[in-house]
Every structure is written in structure tokens, then in C-alpha cells.
């Protein structure tokens, strides 16, 4: 008895692990267990993949049609596909939202896990919604406080998150003259985090404009912005960097190279 597939693709499978010509030359004594073992071994599996490629090419299909993962998907039942689709969609949601995996039984998936994961995701979405509403309330409060400030300054610093995506953090500093003790107090508050399109002078300028709009400062009120603090990156402090672009329309700006960054 011979294996027609292995015989056909013999030149391509001779270098596979545990290669044997037994099923190509012809086997005399055959048992059912021998046939099953041959169907599972590396050389026959590779020969079957080559056959699938040949059939796909003959049908005018692309490489994805005979990819092992696609073939595996095609062999899944409807229930298995539904569970796999839920897993993939859940993983995509968590990765896209940059959330952490907090349920360890994700791999040992069961029917009841769908409800657990859905509850977990809904709770995360609810928490994010509440956090957004809280931020909106705080932002409106900060806007009102900044409207009363004659001058204010911004502190900018860039960093990358777990996804290696650049983000620009902004703090606002101003003098509060409306305190109950009739003294002037310097105030500092978190303002926002922006994602620059590019970490260039133009990209950072776009971030700065977004930040000003964030607190309701338009071009007619830019005279109240008197200072900006950044690190010493050339995109920030070079003549052709953010500093140069800002100083053209706002020549009075006091630019400070952050002392902590300077010490580095």
C-alpha cells in the first residue's frame, strides 16, 4: 500500500523530520494504527498542505485559502466559531482600549465566561463613562477659574504609553487672586493628555492649539499665555522647533527648559 499524496510530493517532503519512504515505496503489512500514525506525521501533514496549495491555485484562490489557520477556522463548528469570535472581539476591545487583563481564567473559557466577560466589559465602559463625566465637570470648573486669571503658563511633557504611542501631558499654572485670605496663591492643575500626530514642531504646535481650545482660550486671549515649560528636545526648544513657531505670533512668551529635565 502506498500514500498517493506523499508519493506525489516526495521531492518536497524528503527533508522533513522523521522522513520515511515506507509509504512511498509501498508497505506490505498494514494495520489501522499504522495508517493513523502516518496521517499524523510531519511528512504527510506537509504533503497534504502542498496538495491544498495546488488545489487552491488551480481554483484561482490566493494564499490565504490554504493557510493552516484558515483551514482550522473552516473546520470549526458553529458554536466553536461563536465562542472564538467572542474571544477575539473581547481581546480586540481590551487591546484597543489599552486595558489590562484582570481575569486569569480567560484561557480556560467556558459558556459562563461569556456572561462574566460581558459584565466585566460593561463595568469598564460604565467606569470610563463616569470618569469622562467627572473630567468634564472638572474641566468646566477649571475653565471658570482660568477665566478669572490674568495670566497663566503651561507645562508640557511627552511620554509613551504601553502601546508605545506618544502622548503629550499638559499642566496649567496660574496665580489665584480670589482666595479667601486675600493673598495671591500659585495654582497648578492637570489639564489634559493629547496624542500628537507627529512628534515634530508642527505636531506639537497642533497639540498646543488643541490644549488652548480645551480650556476655551481662543486667539484673542492668547495674550494671557505668558510661559511654557518643556524638556530640552530639539522639537521643543530649537529655533525651528515648537519654541520658534510659538514665538513668532507670541514674542512675549517666556520659555523654560524644565529644570528636572535639564539636570538629566
Selected residue with higher pLDDT from 56 and 223: 223
* Mean pLDDT estimate for the chain: 77
Is there a domain that residue 142 lies in?
Answer: no
| Distance in angstroms (rounded) separating the CA atoms of residues 211 and 220 | 15
Instruction: Looking at the structure, tell me whether residues 176 and 243 fall in a common domain.
Output: yes
Instruction: Looking at the structure, tell me whether residues 208 and 106 fall in a common domain.
Output: no
Total-model pTM = 0.48
Instruction: Looking at the structure, tell me whether residues 98 and 60 fall in a common domain.
Output: no
Is there a domain that residue 50 lies in?
Answer: yes
Q: What is the pLDDT of residue 109?
A: 46
User: Where is 212: in which H helix or E strand?
Assistant: helix 201-214
Is there a domain that residue 137 lies in?
Answer: no
Q: What is the pLDDT of residue 159?
A: 80
> How far from the centroid of its chain's Cα atoms is residue 9's Cα?
43
Task: Name the most confidently modeled range: 50-64, 74-88, 131-145, 192-206.
Answer: 192-206
**pLDDT, tens digit (0-9, with 9 covering 90-100), for 60-105:** 766 555 566 666 777 777 888 777 777 777 777 666 666 555 544 4
Is there a domain that residue 140 lies in?
Answer: no
Pairing mode, if any, of strands 225-230 and 152-160? parallel
**pLDDT, tens digit (0-9, with 9 covering 90-100), for 180-196:** 777 778 888 888 888 88
Q: What is the pLDDT of residue 63?
A: 56
Task: Give the residue numbers spanning the domain of 99.
Answer: 78-130
Spatial contact of 170 and 211, defined as CB atoms under 8 Å apart: yes
Q: What is the pLDDT of residue 105?
A: 43
Is there a domain that residue 47 lies in?
Answer: yes
3-class DSSP assignment, residue 57: helix
**pLDDT, tens digit (0-9, with 9 covering 90-100), for 206-240:** 888 888 887 777 767 788 889 999 988 888 888 88
Amino acid at each position: 500500500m502506498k500514500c498517493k499524496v506523499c508519493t506525489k510530493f516526495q521531492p518536497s517532503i524528503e527533508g522533513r523530520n522523521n522522513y520515511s519512504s515506507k509509504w512511498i515505496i509501498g508497505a506490505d503489512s498494514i494495520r489501522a494504527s499504522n495508517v493513523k500514525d502516518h496521517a499524523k506525521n510531519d511528512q504527510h501533514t506537509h504533503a497534504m498542505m502542498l496538495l491544498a496549495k495546488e488545489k487552491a491555485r488551480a481554483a484561482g484562490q490566493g494564499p490565504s485559502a490554504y493557510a493552516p489557520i484558515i483551514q482550522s477556522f473552516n473546520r470549526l463548528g458553529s458554536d466553536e466559531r461563536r465562542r472564538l469570535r467572542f474571544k477575539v472581539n473581547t481581546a480586540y476591545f481590551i487591546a484597543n482600549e489599552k486595558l489590562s487583563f484582570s481575569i486569569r481564567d480567560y484561557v480556560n473559557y467556558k459558556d459562563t465566561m461569556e456572561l462574566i466577560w460581558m459584565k466585566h466589559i460593561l463595568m469598564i465602559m460604565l467606569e470610563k463613562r463616569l470618569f469622562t463625566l467627572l473630567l468634564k465637570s472638572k474641566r468646566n470648573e477649571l475653565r471658570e477659574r482660568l477665566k478669572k486669571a490674568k495670566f497663566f503658563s503651561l507645562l508640557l511633557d511627552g511620554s509613551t504609553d504601553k502601546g508605545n504611542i506618544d502622548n503629550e501631558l499638559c499642566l496649567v499654572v496660574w496665580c489665584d487672586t480670589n482666595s479667601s485670605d486675600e493673598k495671591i496663591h500659585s495654582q497648578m492643575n492637570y489639564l489634559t493628555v493629547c496624542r500628537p500626530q507627529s512628534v515634530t514642531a508642527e505636531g506639537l504646535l497642533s497639540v498646543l492649539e488643541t490644549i488652548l481650545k480645551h480650556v476655551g482660550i481662543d486667539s484673542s486671549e492668547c495674550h494671557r499665555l505668558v510661559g511654557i515649560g518643556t524638556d530640552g528636545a530639539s522639537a521643543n526648544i530649537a529655533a525651528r522647533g515648537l519654541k520658534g513657531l510659538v514665538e513668532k505670533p507670541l514674542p512675549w512668551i517666556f520659555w523654560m527648559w524644565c529644570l528636572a529635565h535639564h539636570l538629566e
